[in-house]
Amino acid sequence: MAEPSRFQDSGYVNWLKAGQSLICTAEGIYAFCDVAIRNYHLALHQKFPRQPCDGPCQEQSLCPSCLARHQEWEQDILSQLTPGSDPGQTNPGKPLWEREAWEIAEVFMRPSHESFRAGGGDTISLVQLVTNCRLFASSIANRQSFVDVTAIRRNLFQSTDFKLTNTELKDHIKAMVTLLEDPTQLKNDARATQAVQQLHQVKEN
């Protein structure tokens, strides 16, 4: 007799739905994160304008003028870490900071993030960015909701049976909706609102 398909197992289907809900959550907060990081990147350029290069410079060998500027950037960026947070990169890519805003964001993430330049990325990395970076301190009212979603993601990926009860799935989705409806900014963010609608659809289907 053929074994029943795992897709007939409601617990496994719920686990998959929770994973899909995490993707929706990441899509919902990406634009919110992107605006903050790009504004900070622009502010750094304005705060530390480029000085004449004593070159020639290479990424791993900077002239004294460029090195001094990169050190100013590094000091400012690391000052944005929330208390108790560690830099996500053990060897930050300083030469890339000037060119790409999301290279700065990586300082606040763990190294196992996906690429964000195409407009996406995994939930845990974006949540780490928000919780580990002072830039977002005034932009969220409920930091605990981000911590809760971090725990959900960890539990899903560390699951031994890849199953969730209906109640667990509803609780997980409720936590993600709470994050996406944070009253300071996200509640009025179009991408976050769309993600909330998608989460309700996942829960009902």
131-187 pLDDT tens trace: 999 999 999 999 999 999 999 999 998 999 999 999 999 999 999 999 999 999 999
Backbone angles phi, psi at 58, to 5 degrees: -125, 165
**Nearest-angstrom CA–CA distance, 99 and 116:** 14
6-63 pLDDT tens trace: 778 999 999 999 999 999 999 999 999 999 999 999 999 999 988 788 777 776 677 8
Residue among 201, 191, 203 at smallest CA distance from 25: 191
Backbone angles phi, psi at 127, to 5 degrees: -65, -40
71-122 pLDDT tens trace: 999 999 999 999 887 766 545 556 688 889 998 998 898 764 444 443 445 7
**Nearest-angstrom CA–CA distance, 128 and 72:** 24
**Nearest-angstrom CA–CA distance, 75 and 79:** 6
Radius of gyration (C-alpha) of the chain in whole angstroms: 20
